[in-house]
Structure 1
Amino acid sequence: MLSVTQDQLYGWLTQFMWPFVRVLSLFAVAPLFGESSIPRTAKIGLAAVFAVAIAPSIPPIPVIPPGSYTGLLILAQQVMIGIAIGYTMRIVFSAVQTAGEFVGLQMGLSFATFFDPSMGANTAVLSRLFNIVAMLIFLAIDGHLLMLAAIVRTFETLPIGELTLHQNGWGVLVEWGSTIFSSGLLLALPLIAALLTINLALGILNRAAPQLSVFSVGFPISITVGVILLAIVLPQTPPFLEDLFQAGLEATSRVVDGFAGR
């Protein structure tokens, strides 16, 4: 007769549950995996399969009852680690969407918005376009696999069982948040500069010929020039986005090292 002790049951449960919680927290907020178009059951199933695959390779996990006070603290720790890693990569895509907002505002398309399920709010059309392009490039360079590799490495730097997360990790995450504005502005800068020149030329034309209504010709010219520039600039963005994704993966390492107090 097969007999299983309580300690063995707790050992099997914790060997799977703690990695599962950390990975599932990552999938809840990370780009691509955290999209609302993916069913929740699919996310849970994928996280469970991934946790089973990596469980034998992670450092030994102490046998702690999940329902105990210590177990609840470890559970909260795994959730915070997964969310921090996911938000670090999410910031990269927020920078891309911010670039789309900047360009749309300069082109006069900021009023063309629709509901974006992934953001839970109305977003500009160009912002959504930039996000789709960035997502395709992210898949093309296997960014999703690199992100999964990053979460696996966290089990070595932050082994399960330590109940302290150093505050430096949150500081690195907050500092990395400035990328939303800096990288977003750099990505949109060529289009912003060209469209600003067009607007200045229209302003000078309005002063030289007051009878010409800038409002009647300005919007069509700005939109037409903006669409032409998008067709020219967008194919040149992959190298910039690849560097941005690489910087995001490096930021995840800094966040994890910060949690470890390094």
Structure 2
Amino acid sequence: MDLWNDIPNMSLLAAPAVLLLGRVSGFVMVLPLFGWTMLPMMVRAGIATLLTVFLACNGAMPSVDTLDQPLFALGALLVQEVLLGVAMGLAANLVFQSVQMAGKMISVEMGLSEAGIIDPVSGEDIDSLEMFLQMTFAILFLAAGGHRLLIGVLVRSFDAFPIAAMPDLGALTDMLVSAGADMLTFMLSLAAPTVAAFLVITVALGVLARALPEINVLFLSLPIRMGVGVLMAAALVPTLGTFSQDLGQWLHRNLGG
């Protein structure tokens, strides 16, 4: 009977850790690299648990006195923390996906959009160039210490958005809008040179078809587009290294990493 009466007190003691785990789990599950579907769910859960323990040991967990509320209120706070973590992870993931979108634009110009393979990262059907650019960027991002930046974003989020406090919805909205706008900017900056090269090729082939109607321009354009696309993709790899540094600066500027 005493144990039954102590359940509210036990839940109050566990509430800070649960709220902390809620934000960390929401952040990790949608985060680039950590949240990729090729990582088993148990591995992602283990990463979230380890980060929670690390943050709790470094003073990120709120005091029990601030959470002296009914159970339904604590449940609402848990949902709030999970959604806050998801919003922050989604903001980082949107900018990260700009590399894949740039690869998609280049693949369409090369004629590779129909040659799809299963992406082990997202489980979706993508083409080989998208996967190449995405995995290359992931390696460069990790080599540049991007994983530490992502963890830094999570650590500093507790200063900007304390646990159990009502978050600034305006700041969250601005963060997501900025992430979407920067995603398009990064995507166009990566794909623009290749798309411009294909535009020149298309115009040149159109002029050639007009001047020499007997030439099968469609048959001639396929190897030209493939060759130019491969060369432009190879030239894009060094740019991805610079882009990984730009993404790190974006994380530091917009998410406090």
Equivalent-residue separation in structure 1 for 2:19 and 2:220 (angstroms): 61
- Matched position secondary structure for 2:97: helix
1:23-102 to structure 2, matched below 5 A, reads 23-56=24-57, 57-58=59-60, 60-63=62-65, 64=67, 68-102=71-105
Contact 1:28 1:34 (8 Å CA) reproduced: yes
Give the AA of the match of 1:127: E
Residues 168 and 60 of structure 1, relative CA distance in 2, 3 Å threshold: closer
RMSD value, Cα: 2.4
Gaps of 5+ in 2: none
Aligned counterpart in structure 1 of residue 186 of structure 2, from 174, 183, 196: 183
Q: Deviations over 1:133-178 (max 9, x none)?
A: 1111110111111111111111122211214542331233123212
Q: Which residue of 1 aligns with 2:201?
A: 198
Aligned counterpart in structure 2 of residue 227 of structure 1, from 227, 230, 237: 230
- TM-score, scaled to structure 2: 0.88
- Matched position secondary structure for 1:153: helix
Q: Deviations over 1:223-256 (max 9, x none)?
A: 01211222233223311331133213422239xx
Contact 2:99 2:187 (8 Å CA) reproduced: yes
Contact 1:88 1:248 (8 Å CA) reproduced: no
Report the identity percentage: 30
Runs of 4+ in 1 over 3 A off after TM superposition: 5-12, 62-67, 117-120
1:66-215 to structure 2, matched below 5 A, reads 68-215=71-218
Equivalent-residue separation in structure 2 for 1:162 and 1:141 (angstroms): 34
- TM-score, scaled to structure 1: 0.87
Equivalent-residue separation in structure 2 for 1:215 and 1:231 (angstroms): 25
Q: Which residue of 2 aligns with 1:259?
A: none
Equivalent-residue separation in structure 1 for 2:69 and 2:33 (angstroms): 30
Could you tell me how far 1:26 is from its partner in structure 2? 0.9
